[in-house]
Amino acid sequence: MDRESLKSFLEEKVVQYQEPSFIESDPLQIPYLFNKKEDIEISAFLTATISWGNRKSILKNAHFLMDLMDHSPYDFILNAQQSDYDALHHFKHRTFNGIDAIGFCKALKNIYLHHDGLENAFLTQPIRPLQENISLFKSIFFSIPHEQRTTKHVSDPLKGSAAKRLNMFLRWMVRNPREKVDFGIWQMISPSDLSCPLDVHSGRVARKLGLLKRAQNDAKAVIELDQSLRSLDAIDPVKYDFALFGLGVFEGF
């Protein structure tokens, strides 16, 4: 398939899958429960963190986590007492358990109290490539006392990770809401700087379409895929995530 045919094909799939109906079966539905910016970004960050494995399980556990936070995640983060943290001990999603949930809540509180919120925590060095900022974000996130086991739940691209869930979270927060699915509530990061959330589905489709040659789904593969997608659309390359994901998950491409 030549470049123009490939671009046309992917654009058609973006239109097909970038629809509000996409949200009905996607973890993105959780932050759509909220209206306040902080509630949206906190619920999105926590939901993205546990977005691996069975989708029904992800949604069930994300709803349960919001229940434990009294459906007011920002207020919970800022004002949780020990009894509230005790309730979080009941949470578990695969290897992310109550200890991790408590650690995340305390780290988020530190970010809102001392780093001007989540958006700013991703922009400590705005001139760096965004993947490097993700690594810096992890350093900030775990700058307070924490359980070592919890650190594995925040990926670091500079250590080779594709950081799929963090890149997905950033897509949710940054891309224009006029595109019907993502929120676009963060204004300081450009959609052109985003990276595609690379997973087994998008990776498989990207390789079949000649967008990606590297065999592993790692940080180097993200860079390669970014270059391919930016050659198709330098302004909004990550819109093709909808095409790659849709082709892989819903069409078995």
pLDDT digits (tens, 9 = 90+) for 45-78: 999 999 999 999 999 999 999 999 999 999 999 9
Helix (H) or strand (E) holding 96: strand 96-97
Count the domains in the chain. Answer: 1
Give the pLDDT confidence score for residue 83 in this predicted structure.
Answer: 95
Could you count the other beta carbons within 10 Å of the beta carbon of residue 81?
A: 7
- What confidence tier does 127 reach under pLDDT thresholds 50, 70, 90? low
Give the pLDDT confidence score for residue 126 in this predicted structure.
Answer: 64
Nearest to 130, CA basis, from 94, 174, 87, 86: 174
Q: Give the C-alpha separation, 209 to 222, whole Å.
A: 15
- What confidence tier does 124 reach under pLDDT thresholds 50, 70, 90? confident
Helix (H) or strand (E) holding 97: strand 96-97
SS3 93: strand
Range of the domain at 238: 3-249
Radius of gyration of the chain (CA): 18
Cβ(6)–Cβ(14) under 8 Å? no
Cβ(10)–Cβ(232) under 8 Å? yes
Q: Give the C-alpha separation, 44 to 33, whole Å.
A: 10
| pLDDT at 125 exceeding the cut of 80 | no
Q: Give the C-alpha separation, 172 to 212, whole Å.
A: 23
- Read off the pLDDT of each residue in 216-226 and give the average, rounded to a whole number: 97
